[in-house]
Amino acid sequence: MKISVDYTRCEGHGLCAEQAPAVFSLDDDAELTYRFEGTDVPDEHVAVARAAADSCPVAALREHP
Protein backbone atom coordinates (compact mmCIF):
# COMPACT_ATOMS: atom_id res chain seq x y z
CA MET A 1 0.00 0.00 0.00
CA LYS A 2 1.18 3.50 -0.80
CA ILE A 3 0.02 6.85 0.47
CA SER A 4 0.25 10.01 -1.55
CA VAL A 5 0.49 13.32 0.26
CA ASP A 6 -0.88 16.57 -1.10
CA TYR A 7 1.43 18.92 0.75
CA THR A 8 -0.46 21.96 -0.53
CA ARG A 9 -3.62 20.76 1.24
CA CYS A 10 -1.91 19.87 4.53
CA GLU A 11 -2.68 22.41 7.24
CA GLY A 12 -0.49 20.85 9.93
CA HIS A 13 -3.27 19.58 12.20
CA GLY A 14 -1.03 16.66 13.19
CA LEU A 15 -3.70 13.99 13.47
CA CYS A 16 -1.72 11.74 11.14
CA ALA A 17 1.39 12.10 13.28
CA GLU A 18 -0.64 11.26 16.39
CA GLN A 19 -2.15 8.17 14.71
CA ALA A 20 1.07 6.93 13.09
CA PRO A 21 4.21 8.56 14.51
CA ALA A 22 6.45 5.98 12.82
CA VAL A 23 5.03 7.04 9.45
CA PHE A 24 4.26 10.78 9.72
CA SER A 25 5.70 13.66 11.69
CA LEU A 26 5.48 17.42 11.78
CA ASP A 27 8.57 19.59 11.93
CA ASP A 28 8.92 22.75 14.02
CA ASP A 29 7.09 24.73 11.31
CA ALA A 30 4.17 22.24 11.26
CA GLU A 31 5.32 20.93 7.87
CA LEU A 32 4.48 17.28 7.27
CA THR A 33 7.19 14.69 6.84
CA TYR A 34 6.16 11.36 5.35
CA ARG A 35 8.74 8.68 6.05
CA PHE A 36 7.81 6.36 3.16
CA GLU A 37 7.49 8.89 0.33
CA GLY A 38 7.61 7.09 -3.04
CA THR A 39 7.61 3.59 -1.62
CA ASP A 40 5.22 1.07 -0.09
CA VAL A 41 4.34 1.43 3.56
CA PRO A 42 5.87 -1.57 5.36
CA ASP A 43 3.33 -4.18 6.41
CA GLU A 44 3.81 -3.50 10.10
CA HIS A 45 2.72 0.13 9.60
CA VAL A 46 -0.18 -0.34 7.15
CA ALA A 47 -2.99 -0.35 9.72
CA VAL A 48 -1.86 2.82 11.47
CA ALA A 49 -1.01 4.55 8.17
CA ARG A 50 -4.51 3.78 6.90
CA ALA A 51 -6.06 5.14 10.12
CA ALA A 52 -3.91 8.25 9.83
CA ALA A 53 -4.98 8.85 6.22
CA ASP A 54 -8.61 8.43 7.21
CA SER A 55 -8.20 10.91 10.07
CA CYS A 56 -6.92 13.80 7.95
CA PRO A 57 -9.52 16.59 8.18
CA VAL A 58 -8.46 18.19 4.88
CA ALA A 59 -7.99 14.96 2.86
CA ALA A 60 -4.30 15.62 2.24
CA LEU A 61 -3.51 11.90 2.49
CA ARG A 62 -4.75 9.37 -0.04
CA GLU A 63 -4.29 5.62 0.14
CA HIS A 64 -3.35 3.63 -2.97
CA PRO A 65 -3.36 -0.17 -3.16
Instruction: Assess whether pLDDT exceeds 90 at residue 65.
Output: no
pLDDT at 46 (0 to 100) = 97
Domains and CATH numbers, the chain: 2-64 (3.30.70.20)
Phi, psi for residue 58 in degrees, rounded to 5: -115, 10
Q: Are 36 and 3 in contact (CB under 8 A)?
A: yes
Q: What is the pLDDT of residues 10-62, one digit of tens each?
A: 999 999 999 999 999 999 998 999 999 999 999 999 999 999 999 999 999 99
Checking DSSP bridges between strand 24-26 and strand 32-34, what pairing results, if any? antiparallel
